[in-house]
Amino acid sequence: MDTRQANVERFNTIASEWDSDPGRVLMAQKVARAMRTALSPTGREQALEFGAGTGLVTLLMAPTLAHVTALDSSAGMLDVLRQKCESKQLTQVETIEGMVPDQLPDTRYDLIYSSMTMHHVDDVPALLKTLADHVKPGGRIALADLDAEDGGFHHEAKGVVHHGFARDTFGNWLRDAGFADVRFSTAFTVSREADDGTVQDYPIFLAIASQPDS
Ligand SMILES: C[S@@+](CC[C@H](N)C(=O)[O-])C[C@H]1O[C@@H](n2cnc3c(N)ncnc32)[C@H](O)[C@@H]1O
């Protein structure tokens, strides 16, 4: 089984318990707040979220947007998200099972955003180039993930391809993909006990960039 399929199975298995970890819920709240502050959405945006999972970020972003296509490779994670949208009557969220970068809808968006998913994707520079083709001129991208780390964030590294990303390298990848106005902030810092008993800080960056007007 390849890494991508193993990831699908892993997230299908843990989907029903995903939201019961308070650390994940807090991280999603902090990331969504940082995105909302940095983007100041108008409420008219047509958005795509990839790696939406159970919608911890989706449910906080959707009320500020006109429509969200929530894409994820795990049907199990999306089942949880759909149930939450139904119970909250969030009609502007549509779920799509699919894998980035190959299975993106043939549409351009005002905003593409994602949290904690790129470290599962093999070729991130290629992903960013594909995403650029799906952002409207003048549209924006908002991507959150781990800063480069020592591998201690995920105690078991199954399905994790990257131990975070260095901001300068990631910024260059965004510019190479055609994005402009690249800026970074720290959305949140996770503190975790390492195997040796010391407490390590793992900052989560938020990168915002825009697609130039053509
Ligand atoms: C660490 S979880 C984060 C979920 C959610 N963004 C959150 O903050 O709670 C990563 C998610 O990305 C999905 N995923 C991993 N690789 C993917 C890919 N290549 N395409 C689409 N989704 C992917 C997984 O199924 C999982 O739901």
**Centroid of ligand 1 to alpha carbon of 166 (angstroms):** 20
Could you tell me the pTM of the whole model?
0.96
Label residue 30 by pLDDT band (50, 70, 90): very high
CATH of the domain at 199: 3.40.50.150
**DSSP states along the chain:** --HHHHHHHHHHHHGGGGGG-HHHHHHHHHHHHHHHHHH---S--EEEEES-TTSTTHHHHGGGSSEEEEEES-HHHHHHHHHHHHHHT-TTEEEEE--TTTT--S--EEEEEEES-GGG-S-HHHHHHHHHTTEEEEEEEEEEEEBS--S-SSSS-TT---S-B-HHHHHHHHHHTT-EEEEEEEEEEEEEE-TTS-EEEEEEEEEEEEPPP-
Q: Whose CA is nearest to atom 4 of ligand 1?
A: 53
- Number of domains into which the chain is organized: 1
**Centroid of ligand 1 to alpha carbon of 214 (angstroms):** 31
Residues 134-149: tens digit of each pLDDT: 999 999 999 999 999 8
Q: Which range among 50-64, 91-105, 108-122, 187-201 shows the weakest confidence by mean pLDDT?
A: 187-201
Q: Tell me the residue range of the domain where 167 lies.
A: 3-210
- Residue 115 near ligand 1, beta carbon < 6 Å: yes
**Centroid of ligand 1 to alpha carbon of 135 (angstroms):** 20
Q: Whose CA is nearest to atom 20 of ligand 1?
A: 99
